[in-house]
Structure 1
Amino acid sequence: PVFTKARAGGVTSLLILPGSANLFGGRGVSVKNVPAVTVQQMKFPGAPYTLKMACGENPKGRYGSRGRAPATRMGEVAGFRRAWIDAAEYGRKVDAYEKKHARGEGGEAPKRDLGLETLAGVLKGDILVQNHCYRADEMAVMLDVGHEFGYKTRAFHHAVEAYKIADLLVADDVCVATWATRWGFKMEAYDAIEENAAILSKAGVCVAIHSDEQRLIQRLNVESAVAIAAGRRAGIDIPQEEAIKWITLNPAKIMGIADKTGSLEPGKMADVVLWSKNPFSVYAIAEKVFIDGALVLDTSDPATRYRSDFEIGQPVGEE
């Protein structure tokens, strides 16, 4: 049901990631928000693979409460480094075998390891890293880990303290996917501020306003407006033509599809939303939503306003 609600909020594409209980949560998937039955029918054509990583309270709390590592933030970094060392070794073995195979030489292929295969893909630059991380000091550490092993972080997600290290993020060309209004729900979220997106944007960071759950995805435009207003109160006036990138072009960059969608340019996919008012107005409604040029939502046409059985519910029988 939430895919339909997201379309009603003007969302044409989504990056869906595994949860944040593990250091490496697994691969994410980019999809086009079209009505379909299977993931394969929705997958965004040509989108690169992504890897979800997580640092901070979630993994250390998950495992520490069970008496297992990583139980501390130091333990998390040790786990990351061990994994990257193993991935680099695995990649070397695979490369050596492929070179021998290309020369017609014998030898047994290394046993396929799906986890190390994904990490090796990151080290080769083929898979984009999406890192769940809240605190500024931890984001800085994760950048250091990336420097040590030669991989780049495409975006820090949530990143409520990113405003403290805007200079580091600019230097490494790392994006931030964050909120404006969510804070204080755990210790590492207590230094969140509504001005985060505006401060980062002014500094030159690629900023996206994300949802991370099924309600906020319906009003990313309003969440962006909150961030704009907070910036203005702090003396940071982000132009609306720049702020609209927070929910259009910049998310596309994070997903690795900015060459295909995210802005109105010749040659790109016709993923277009027509709003009833300025999209940063709380009264704005996505009146028409086009994906690949096809009209998938029209508020004047009930036939496009799909409701699932989950929302309709079950009929009440007579007693």
Structure 2
Amino acid sequence: MLAAAATVLAGCAANSGGANSASANSGQSSREPARPFDRNPFPSTYRAYPGQPTLITNVTIFDGEGGRIDNGAILMRDGKVAEIGPSIAAPEGAVTIDGQGKWVTPGVIDVHSHLGNYPSPGVDAHSDGNEATGPITAEVWAEHSVWPQDPGFSRALANGGVTTLQILPGSANLMGGRAVTLKNVYARTMQGMKFPGAPYGFKMACGENPKRVYGGKGRIPSTRMGNVAVNRATWAKAAEYRRKWDKYERDGGEPPTRDIQLDTLRGVLAGEILVHNHCYRADEMAIVMDMAKEFGYKVTAFHHAVESYKIADLLKANDTCSAVWADWYGFKMESYDAITENLAILENEGACGLIHSDDANGIQRLNQEVAKVLAAARRSGIAITPEQAWRWLAIAPAKALGIDNVTGSLKPGKMADVVLWNGDPFSVYTRPERVWVDGALMYDANNPKLRPVSDFELGQPGEGDVK
């Protein structure tokens, strides 16, 4: 199994934070003792769908890194972006699409989704996102709840141009478990969707949710200071666990007793697993960053983060991203002090900001959420161009997921995750016309055979009747 995974992950393994090390794959290394277990025992079996060389011409291109090409062209070949520029000669045998009046962008990347874990239909039998049985559940992995037949995946692809998404556990717990990054393709198994080489995420939460869930059960934490106390005690245990395993891997001898929960925390402390922290208030985000310094880990991104605008300088100094909504706030006290210019201020101050959904409907219109932020920025006198704003949907979330070296922008050699929009992508009237993942055409609004539905929907009234 691991030998097969090594082939799949070739070219991407360097970005996986060492999860597929030589000793893990071969069981032996001349430089270190054999590991008794693989830190990623459930590797991707993702295989890109076959595509064909495709040239799109006469389009407005947002490259995902802030660049714009008017009346430009893009060539996809062998699953990659082969060439991009004002004019490209069509290779022999390539499909050529005249995109006059249309736009091309990188595929949308959503860093905060629960598709597959809270799938449609939304019934109790499908509620698999929160292991709300203890404040620390670092041992659970979101991927083990992902249902690939969730209709939300195909709707995010067809309606929102979403090509990559991170599936996280819910926010009932201080430490909710591992998150997984998926390519938005059709597969029978979660492993068949798993983004090759992407590092794991780790879901944490601060504030009202954990103190309400567990304080309501008469146990710690019931306060914000309780939240921090439980977190710190857990990180102290993880640091000792890491010390024992590092010593064993360096010196050999009797291996320590394995702890599935602490395995994940050891990965965080080693920098192999990226922290994604549900947090609303500025003061709590600052406390969490202090705690991260105490124990030697890094917060990759705060999610929701409605008060990030208050501490843009601190976030920039800590190289911590903020994944935010445009205007979803006021539904509880910690989400009260929000402004629609939040993301624009982060951009203006040079901090890392991006849009996210946390919602099966919102993921279908993240481009429109960014349009709201642009309107708020203009009203406030903050100058942000549309092509600059597309970074919040592409390269910035790719950075937060640790995959910006292979996707998130239309640069030669990167994955051909591409959307052709039928108009200005920041208009409410615009929809994806075609969506490619790894250069394979996965959705075509003009082709009934490429307007996919999930396996679950096939056979339902009105579905599955495509000739």
Calculate the TM-score normalised by the size of structure 2: 0.65
Q: Secondary structure at the match of 1:211?
A: coil
Asked whether 1:55 is paired with 2:206, we answer yes
- CA deviation profile, 1:31-75 (whole Å, cap 9, x unmatched): 000011211000000001111000000101000111011110001
Q: Secondary structure at the match of 2:191?
A: helix
- One-letter identity of the residue aligned with 1:64: G
For 1:45 and 1:127, the matched residues in 2 are separated by 15
- Which of 163, 171, 174 pairs up with 2:309? 163
For 1:5 and 1:260, the matched residues in 2 are separated by 24
Asked whether 1:14 is paired with 2:189, we answer no
- CA deviation profile, 1:12-41 (whole Å, cap 9, x unmatched): 000110001111100000000001121100
Q: How many residue pairs are counted as aligned between the two chains?
A: 311
- One-letter identity of the residue aligned with 2:259: D
Task: Tell me the residue number matched to 1:27.
Answer: 178
- Which of 234, 242, 248 pairs up with 1:91? 242
Task: Tell me the residue number matched to 1:41.
Answer: 192
Asked whether 1:237 is paired with 2:383, we answer yes
Deviation (angstroms), 1:314: 4.6
Structure 1: gaps of 5 or more residues: 102-106
1:267-282 to structure 2, matched below 5 A, reads 267-282=413-428
For 1:160 and 1:77, the matched residues in 2 are separated by 20
Deviation (angstroms), 1:108: 2.4
Task: Tell me the residue number matched to 1:183.
Answer: 329
- One-letter identity of the residue aligned with 1:92: R
Deviation (angstroms), 1:312: 6.6
- CA deviation profile, 1:134-192 (whole Å, cap 9, x unmatched): 00000000010011111111000000010000000010111011101211111111112
Instruction: Please state which structure has a larger fraction of its residues in helix.
Output: 1
Task: Tell me the residue number matched to 2:143.
Answer: none
For 1:123 and 1:170, the matched residues in 2 are separated by 21
- Which of 295, 309, 319 pairs up with 1:149? 295
Closer, same or farther: CA 310–43 of 1 in aligned 2, 3 Å: closer
Structure 2: gaps of 5 or more residues: 1-150, 463-467
Deviation (angstroms), 1:313: 7.3
- One-letter identity of the residue aligned with 1:90: Y
- Which of 78, 84, 102 pairs up with 2:229? 78
For 1:315 and 1:31, the matched residues in 2 are separated by 29
- One-letter identity of the residue aligned with 2:429: Y
For 1:312 and 1:50, the matched residues in 2 are separated by 32
For 1:77 and 1:63, the matched residues in 2 are separated by 14
- One-letter identity of the residue aligned with 1:68: R
Deviation (angstroms), 1:310: 5.2
For 1:313 and 1:212, the matched residues in 2 are separated by 29
Q: Secondary structure at the match of 1:185?
A: coil
Closer, same or farther: CA 80–310 of 1 in aligned 2, 3 Å: same
Deviation (angstroms), 1:100: 2.3
Deviation (angstroms), 1:308: 3.5
Task: Tell me the residue number matched to 1:209.
Answer: 355
Asked whether 1:284 is paired with 2:420, we answer no
Asked whether 1:302 is paired with 2:452, we answer no
For 2:457 and 2:244, the matched residues in 1 are separated by 51
For 1:65 and 1:247, the matched residues in 2 are separated by 37
- Which of 205, 211, 218 pairs up with 1:67? 218
Task: Tell me the residue number matched to 1:135.
Answer: 281
- One-letter identity of the residue aligned with 2:169: P
- One-letter identity of the residue aligned with 2:263: E
- CA deviation profile, 1:223-281 (whole Å, cap 9, x unmatched): 00001101111111211111001111111111100001000001110000111111111
Task: Tell me the residue number matched to 1:104.
Answer: none
- Which of 145, 150, 153 pairs up with 1:3? 153
- One-letter identity of the residue aligned with 1:285: R
For 2:417 and 2:435, the matched residues in 1 are separated by 8
- One-letter identity of the residue aligned with 1:240: P
Identity fraction in percent: 62
For 2:409 and 2:183, the matched residues in 1 are separated by 15
For 2:298 and 2:332, the matched residues in 1 are separated by 27
Calculate the TM-score normalised by the size of structure 1: 0.95
- One-letter identity of the residue aligned with 2:334: E
For 1:314 and 1:40, the matched residues in 2 are separated by 26
For 2:169 and 2:376, the matched residues in 1 are separated by 31
- One-letter identity of the residue aligned with 1:202: N
Q: Secondary structure at the match of 2:277?
A: strand
Task: Tell me the residue number matched to 2:38.
Answer: none
